[in-house]
Structure formats: structure tokens, C-alpha cells
Amino acid sequence: MVGLGNPGTEFVGTRHNAGAEVVRALAERHQGRLKAEKGLRSQVCAVRIGDHPALLAVPQTFMNESGQAVAPLVRRAGIDRPSHPGQSRPASASAPGLANRLIVVHDELDLPSGRVRVKSGGGNAGNNGLKSIESHLHTNDYLRVRIGIGKPPGRQAGADHVLRRPGAAERTLLAVAIQQAADAVEAIIADGLEAAMNRINATD
């Protein structure tokens, strides 16, 4: 499970780092400690979520270069091709465990601030982190937990909007959304994609 963002203290608390905050919340919930691992351009930790092993990761590349971190993470986790619950595999292939699924958590301009949605595959909606991941993995076949940050106000550029820290009211909304997104990841792992989508996507 990968939470996207930008490294460095100057980006802490910005809208673009919402995905990374979800990973940190999950690590705290499950007594994990994120730390650098040789050969990976990420902070990682292995935890158990229920009965399932999970590798949590926060890339230490900039958002636009997320694929440079996700590609070695996929190899580290033993994922040849990202798959999702319900995807069939040849009988000769080893049965995929939940550790062999890729979940990417990221901010989403096309959702109202504070709204959380679960999605499988699809377009990248202009998110440069997703573009980079798809470029390196040569697929968009992975699960996504999307955290709404809303459209920029007025004529503000999208890049400026995502790199700003929200005001107090929006910050409260996003704090709730980060916990809800962590719940969504746990639901995917515990109950599968469809159940998680039915539960999370039905909320306002």
C-alpha cells in the first residue's frame, strides 16, 4: 500500500501529501515504524492488518516521480502484475494473497474536499503521481483510495492548490478523511474490493 506525497518538511500538511498521511496513520494503528530500506526509494514497514500481511510505503521521490519508487516496491512485495480481488489467475499460478495487491492512496482534485472514494483502475485525472506509476508499471490495473481536496478557487492553478496547506475548516475535513481513507484500506484488505466500495463510496 503506497501513500503518495512529496518528501521534506516544507510539504508536510499540504493537500498533495494526504496519501502519505494515510500510510502514516495506518502504520501507527498497526504498530509499524516507517523507515528507509536499502534499494527502495521509500520509507516502508511491514505490518499485519487483521490476518493479512501488508507492506506500507511512503515514496521519498517527489510526486511527479512516484513511479521510480513504486516499481521497486512492487518487486519487493513480489507483485509481477498488480491485481485486485476477483481477478482470475491461471490454475498453475500461486494463489494471490492480499500482500500481492497494489493499493495507491492519493489526493484528488475532482472530488470535494474531505470526500473519500475507492476505485479500481481507470484514468489518472491528470494526477502526475499516477501518470508516473503507470509509466513505470505499464498498467493502470491497481486499486486506488482517493481523497478529495476540491478544485482550486477562482483562477488559482491546480499546482498551487495542491501544494498549499488548507485553512482550519478544510484541515478538519481532511483529518477526518485521512482516517476514513485508512478505514477504506483496511476494508479492502479485510473484506475485498466490492465490499469496501459499497461501504466507503456510499458515504457523503
- Sketch out the chain's domains with CATH numbers: 2-83+98-200 (3.40.50.1470)
Which tens digits make up the pLDDT trace of 104-157? 999 999 999 999 999 998 888 889 999 999 999 888 889 999 999 999 888 888
CA 114/CA 142 separation, integer angstroms: 22
Q: Which amino acid belongs to residue 108?
A: E
> Is pLDDT of 87 > 60?
no
Grid cell of 55 as nine digits: 507492506
Which tens digits make up the pLDDT trace of 25-62? 999 999 999 999 988 999 999 999 989 999 999 999 99
**Which residue numbers are catalytic?**
16
- pLDDT at position 78, please? 81
Grid cell of 204 as nine digits: 457523503
- pLDDT at position 92, please? 32
Grid cell of 180 as nine digits: 476514513
Which tens digits make up the pLDDT trace of 178-203? 999 999 999 999 999 999 999 999 88
DSSP 94: P
- pLDDT at position 86, please? 44
